[in-house]
Amino acid sequence: MTAAEEEPPLHLLGADVHADAVLDLLSEGELEIEGRLVDASNATLYCTVRRGELLATCVYKPIEGERPLWDFPDGTLAEREYAAYLVSEATRWDLVPRTVLRDGPFGAGMCQLWIDVDATVDLGALARSRHPDLRRMALLDAVINNADRKGGHLLPTPDGRVRGCDHGVCFSAEDKLRTLLWQWRSEPFTADEVAVLQSLRTQLDGELGDELYGLLTVTEVRATVLRLERLLATGVFPEPSQDWPAIPWPPF
């Protein structure tokens, strides 16, 4: 064995590696389960994924480990997580970690790059802040109708960014927006935000829409289109509903 062959594998972290390389690794790499995240309500497995000299840590959520939800009876949580990633990517805001659908040790499921967070960040204070990534996330949540944006789903990283995870209960055809991020309610969108929403609306008539139709019901995709059009028509962040709880429980 040569010295080069003895070198340890490269450990991929966050956004430090080109997106295509990360997606290839998540899709094609060998998954090895290291443990289970016991606080999660569905089977959520902490894994390493290896392909050649590349190595990363990730979360693998097998569909077989999902608990049925009466208000999300169609499709799977894994498919909704992947759909949320696709919409996030379409905004170019890099809010949802790299995500794929793939087979694994317990069957088909969602595989998402693990994000090392800054443990010194107070999530309560962060959730109440006006961090620009949280503003983008609040708008993304309004588009995908996120019914569960808890403080624990925020991923502050050492470089000052914030990303979000756990998007399994999104895209309902009924208005179900539940979030801690109401700081911008009724505030007008910036020109850049309007441009992103307009781009999303256009993309839903093309490849993005085709991908979502393969993951969600026709009614849910059409509802996403209508939400986008409503946001563009009002030009402001939504207000909390008076008809259902506006904040998830527990909030963290």
Helices (H) and strands (E) in the chain, counts: 7, 8
9 pLDDT above the threshold of 60: no
SS3 49: strand
User: Which has the closest alpha carbon to 232: 173, 179, 188?
Assistant: 188
Distance CA 180, CA 6 (A): 48
Q: What average pLDDT is seen over the chain? A: 91
Q: pLDDT tens-digit profile of 127-180?
A: 999 999 999 999 999 999 999 999 999 999 999 999 999 999 999 999 999 999
Q: What is the pLDDT of residue 15?
A: 45
Q: How many beta carbons lie within 10 A of that of residue 148, not counting itself?
A: 17
Distance CA 64, CA 80 (A): 15
Fold of 10-234: Transferase(Phosphotransferase); domain 1 (1.10.510)
**What do you get for the CA distance between the two ends of the chain, in Å?**
50
SS3 51: strand
pLDDT band at 24 (very low <50, low <70, confident <90, very high): very high
Average pLDDT over residues 210-232: 97
Q: How far is CA 101 from the centre of its chain?
A: 13
Distance CA 252, CA 249 (A): 8
With tokens 């040569």, the residue in question is 2
Distance CA 199, CA 87 (A): 11
**Contact call for residues 179 and 146 (beta carbons, < 8 A):** yes
pLDDT above 70 covers what percent of the chain? 93
User: Which has the closest alpha carbon to 56: 15, 95, 20, 22?
Assistant: 22
Six token digits for residue 232: 């563009």
Average pLDDT over residues 237-247: 91
pTM summary value? 0.92
Question: So where are the chain's domains?
Answer: 10-234
Q: What is the pLDDT of residue 6?
A: 44
Distance CA 107, CA 113 (A): 18
**Contact call for residues 155 and 164 (beta carbons, < 8 A):** yes
Q: How many beta carbons lie within 10 A of that of residue 16, not counting itself?
A: 9
